[in-house]
Structure 1
Amino acid sequence: MVIGVGPFSIKLVLLAIVLLLAWSIARFLAKYPKNDKRKAAGGLLLDAVFWGFVAARVAHIIQWRDEYLQKPLSMLAVSDGGYLWWAGFPVAIVYVLWRTRKIRIVRQPVLMGLAAGILIWFASNHWLGMMQRSSIDFPDVQLATFDQQPVSLSAYRGKPVVLNLWASWCPPCRREMPAFEQAQEQFPDIAFVMVNQGESLKKVQDFLQAEQLMLNNVLLDPASGVMHQVRARGLPTTLFFDAQRQLQGVHMGEITAAGLKSKIAQYFD
């Protein structure tokens, strides 16, 4: 199941909860001993988290600079999930140390709030990943090729599969197609399977021809069976399965070339 709360992804909701908990812990600890710097501690923690996010994002952009330089505006796609936390955490800690050089009384509460937030974030993400992997099986749905021959996704057994659910009426789907076209050439040992949801053969062919897209594995799912089976909440949705057909990760929404390659490196290397 692709988990979410209303229109928001579960990770965004978890992030908000973790921030609230870390902020509350820092404010609570700032009362002791004989101190009441709660406002300063809470504000400083949020500032540190902000600069940690910025550093993590910049580090990710630097790591995948070649892909981002091809489409510079994609650097702003923060929902892509592109963050290097090992770069963000030290920046957040150094920021706290620097800001508290003259008000050391709030240093410990803020650092403890940060530490608690980090632990809760990693624990909740580990739990979420386990729950997601156990709730989504490799789809077993009858699909069709462009020549109207029946085909199953089991035809791609023995290699990792990146499964993208899309439709031509979906603007984010259209924008991310070139990233998959590029990736299929760079990673020939991975099957990039583009399963169209609910559209006719002519509509799909006309779209691919108009956009001059050369995608190797485009399949038709007129009844949107795959979307229903994995309980995807919207389009586009991209699922990453290893060679044993075990789910490794899910990405909801548009994915950039850098985001796609970073997830391939994370799940399949």
Structure 2
Amino acid sequence: MSSVNIGLVAFHINFLLLLGAMLIGSFVAKRIGRPRNIDVEPLLWRVFITSLVAARLVFVIAYFDMYKSAPWSILNILDGGFSPAAGILAAATGIIGYAWHVREGRRTLLLSALTGGAAWAVGVVAAAAVFAVPVQMPQAELVRLDGSAVQFGSLAGKPMVVNLWATWCPPCIREMPVLRDAQKNSPDVVFIFANQGESADVIQKFLDREGLILDNVLLDSRLELSSQTNSQGLPTTLFFDAKGALVDRRIGELSAATLAQRIEGITTRHIDP
């Protein structure tokens, strides 16, 4: 999955699909219910919001150790930390519960919910095809801070987390400590910090100023990784499995919890037969 730029703001495709499905469901509810003076649209929005809260709550509980040192970060839903299964279950339970109690509007409620759900499912399948990630890792020559060249593919062999960043990017700077700590605590994962288009001098001054000690800080002066992985916007973090396949990406700032979730994903693929 990827993002869609609307003006200067990048929206993740999952968010747009959910919002679109909800709007379609609301439209159907109005079209069917208006002639009979039945309004189930508030119920649909109530279920939608409740399912989002449930998806967030289950995710936070699963990764509570990552949040307890900074409880306020639980409210930062922009980190992308949600449990899809919990959200779907909560939405289905809510629709069934309301349909059971609201007899007069039951048909309208079920039809609008099913239409919205079908629209979401079709959107997910279509987006998976349109925004499909490349199968294999890109072929690019990067440069270390000391000026030596390194082939990107030579760093493979373990699961990889590749962060595309720049010193002028505020969310890149904010997530650096999270990535630094994960690099320190995940010896079985290779972390690469691929700076996009800046000089070694600018990068080194930034690292010194921020007090950051990172392994594998590389210069991608020609933006090859961004181009070959179709990554738009910074920061973008790419997740490769041990075989070199790009299996996930996160556009925007990572929290410790969302990073841990994705690292689990690529390390699990690594140990599966």
- Fold match by TM threshold 0.5: yes
Partner of 1:251: 250
User: 2:160 and 2:105 mapped to 1: Cα distance?
Assistant: 49
Q: Equivalent residues in 2 for 1:4-15 (5 A)?
A: 4-6=4-6, 7-9=9-11, 10-15=13-18
Relative to structure 1, is the Cα distance of residues 144 and 74 closer, same or farther in structure 2, using a 3 angstrom cutoff?
same
Partner of 2:28: 25
Instruction: Please give the secondary structure, in 2, of the residue aligned with 1:133.
Output: coil
- Worse-superposed segment, 100-109 or 224-233: 100-109
Relative to structure 1, is the Cα distance of residues 8 and 169 closer, same or farther in structure 2, using a 3 angstrom cutoff?
closer
Instruction: Please give the secondary structure, in 2, of the residue aligned with 1:162.
Output: strand
User: 2:103 and 2:27 mapped to 1: Cα distance?
Assistant: 19
Which 5+ residue runs of structure 1 have no aligned equivalent? Answer: none
Partner of 1:133: 132
Partner of 1:155: 154
Instruction: Please give the secondary structure, in 2, of the residue aligned with 1:70.
Output: coil
User: 2:194 and 2:182 mapped to 1: Cα distance?
Assistant: 16
CA contact (8 A) 1:2 1:230 kept: no
Instruction: Please give the secondary structure, in 1, of the residue aligned with 2:209.
Output: helix
Q: Equivalent residues in 2 for 1:219-234 (5 A)?
A: 219-234=218-233
Instruction: Please give the secondary structure, in 2, of the residue aligned with 1:165.
Output: strand
Cα displacement string for residues 194-237 of structure 1 (whole angstroms, at most 9, x for unaligned residues): 10111111221121122222222211122323223323221101
Cα displacement string for residues 90-111 of structure 1 (whole angstroms, at most 9, x for unaligned residues): 4334444555665322234324
Partner of 1:35: 36
Per the normalisation by structure 2, the TM-score is 0.85
Q: Equivalent residues in 2 for 1:68-107 (5 A)?
A: 68-96=67-95, 103-107=102-106
CA contact (8 A) 2:3 2:10 kept: no
What number of residue pairs does the alignment pair up? 265
State, as a whole percentage, how many aligned pairs show the same letter: 34
Quote the offset at 1:66 in angstroms. 1.1
Quote the offset at 1:174 in angstroms. 0.5
Which 5+ residue runs of structure 2 have no aligned equivalent? Answer: 269-273
Letter in 1 for 2:10: F
Relative to structure 1, is the Cα distance of residues 112 and 191 closer, same or farther in structure 2, using a 3 angstrom cutoff?
farther
Alignment of 1:164 with 2:163, yes or no, is yes
Cα displacement string for residues 31-90 of structure 1 (whole angstroms, at most 9, x for unaligned residues): 6xx8331xx211210111001101111111111111112233322221222111332334
Partner of 1:67: 66
Quote the offset at 1:114 in angstroms. 3.0
CA contact (8 A) 2:67 2:73 kept: yes
Could you say what the CA RMSD is over the residues aligned between the two structures, in angstroms?
2.5
CA contact (8 A) 1:80 1:256 kept: yes
User: 1:228 and 1:136 mapped to 2: Cα distance?
Assistant: 15
Letter in 2 for 1:46: W
Alignment of 1:266 with 2:265, yes or no, is yes
Partner of 2:271: none
User: 2:121 and 2:113 mapped to 1: Cα distance?
Assistant: 12
Relative to structure 1, is the Cα distance of residues 36 and 267 closer, same or farther in structure 2, using a 3 angstrom cutoff?
farther
User: 2:263 and 2:128 mapped to 1: Cα distance?
Assistant: 16
User: 1:242 and 1:138 mapped to 2: Cα distance?
Assistant: 10
User: 1:129 and 1:265 mapped to 2: Cα distance?
Assistant: 21
Letter in 2 for 1:247: L
Per the normalisation by structure 1, the TM-score is 0.87
CA contact (8 A) 2:133 2:247 kept: no
